[in-house]
Amino acid sequence: MLITNDQVRKYLKDNPLLTIKEVAINLSLTYDRVRHIKQRLEERDRIQKVETPEGRSGVLTKGKMWQVYDGSWRESLTFEVDKIEELVKFKEDLLNDLTELGKLQKPVLTKYKKDGDVCLEISLPDIHVGKGDIIELMNNYLLSILSLVGKAEKFGIDRILLPIGNDGMNSEGKRRTTTGGTPQEDSLLWKDSFRVYTTLICSAVKELSTMYPVDIIVITGNHDEERMFYAGECISAYFKNNKNITVNNSGEYRKYYEYGTNMLMFTHGDKEKTSDLPLILATEEPEMFARTKFREVHCGHLHKEKMDEYRGIKVRFLPSICTTDEWHKMKGYQHLRAAQAYLWNKKTGYEGHFQTSLV
């Protein structure tokens, strides 16, 4: 660890009986460096404190005089301001300012209540059921959703949008690979991971639907493209008689959602060129594009937050709550584990988002 001169000076002042050699050994420094710092410290202590030209307390560290062409003399003085005294003065000024500020009359805040004109999008992509501790993952998923709803409910939620999938499961199952064939190390048998995922989603949706209407959008990923479609069909069948829940499990790779003046595209983000997504959005759904004013694309895949904007259309990659496996650790990949929820106002569009971070 790099030791600064100020630290050496403090050590010398705190240990006045130690020799230069002992200090050098204790701090793992050279003898000459400690000797030089101690000499300078002793010189400074011998110098009488003076008042700088600006009226600040300090010590005179260097003085120089010379004669100019007209026979007069010039003087150059270098001062070192007493930092402790400066800090004390700063604290006094700050306390005085705060006292004066406290005398001002505080404005009365009027609570602004929204009457159900906000859609809350709860997006937790890439949870990768089948990787890591399954009990921990289930708890993190359910608690994150409830935490995000709790933060947003005061804004007057009209309905909840819940995109699911985006690598909801870690592999395609029995063959223990991604859809493209990359081997995966699953912590569950393929039958169990499918049951856990569908049960987890149904539990979350059932709880949410007791409070608000819920719109589910199923997004396929590069780890579970086939199984995510099967899971979507199971979830759709489970809620088919619940009028408070809709499920979009169409065969389209990219799915769209319209709420008031908002248009959202959902895709995993591993197939398309990011800068092409806004144009794809406009050409695949031109009528929805024409009806709306605020448009965004939400992706998963990267497990980290990333955002760019093209011609007024934002493309967001959302973070994930999943753990880092051995392969990602070996590669040095890291991400902040977090869950996010977005507020979409019917008239004014994006109003911000909330985040629940995992440690």
Write out the two tokens for 291: 């009806």
DSSP 210-227: TTS-EEEEEE--SS-HHH
Write out the two tokens for 324: 């880092």
What fold does the segment set 118-357 form as a domain? Purple Acid Phosphatase; chain A, domain 2 (3.60.21)
CB 211 within 8 A of CB 149: yes
Give the sign of the dihedral formed by CA 332, CA 336, CA 339, CA 340: negative
- Residue whose pair of structure tokens reads 């890291």 in the numeric block: 334
CB 320 within 8 A of CB 335: yes
Helix (H, G, I), strand (E, B) or coil at 164: strand
Q: What burial class does residue 43 get, using C-beta atoms within 10 Å of its C-beta: 0-12 exposed, 13-18 middle, 19+ buried? A: exposed
Query: CA 329, 341, 337 angle in degrees (round to 5)?
Result: 15
Sheet containing strand 57-67, edge to edge, reads 49-51, 57-67, 73-81
As a whole number of angstroms, the distance between CA 60 and CA 103 comes to: 41
CB 257 within 8 A of CB 341: no
Query: CA 132, 321, 143 angle in degrees (round to 5)?
Result: 100
Pick the closest to residue 342 from 152, 202, 166, 177 (CA basis).
Answer: 152
In angstroms, how far is the first alpha carbon of the chain from the final one? 28
As a whole number of angstroms, the distance between CA 117 and CA 158 comes to: 6
As a whole number of angstroms, the distance between CA 167 and CA 176 comes to: 14
Cβ-based neighbour number of residue 234 at 10 Å: 17
pLDDT, mean of each 10-residue run, the chain (359 residues): 79 88 87 83 61 56 64 62 54 59 49 69 95 89 92 92 96 91 89 92 92 96 95 95 96 96 97 96 97 98 94 96 72 81 96 91
Sheet containing strand 294-299, edge to edge, reads 255-259, 262-266, 294-299, 313-317, 306-310
CB 64 within 8 A of CB 75: yes
pTM value?
Answer: 0.68
Distance of CA 77 to the CA centre of its chain: 50
Helix (H, G, I), strand (E, B) or coil at 127: coil
Continuous segment of H or E residues that includes residue 151: helix 134-152
Helix (H, G, I), strand (E, B) or coil at 236: helix
For residue 107, give the DSSP letter. P
Helix (H, G, I), strand (E, B) or coil at 118: strand
As a whole number of angstroms, the distance between CA 193 and CA 130 comes to: 5
Helix (H, G, I), strand (E, B) or coil at 175: coil
Write out the two tokens for 117: 């004109």
As a whole number of angstroms, the distance between CA 210 and CA 119 comes to: 16
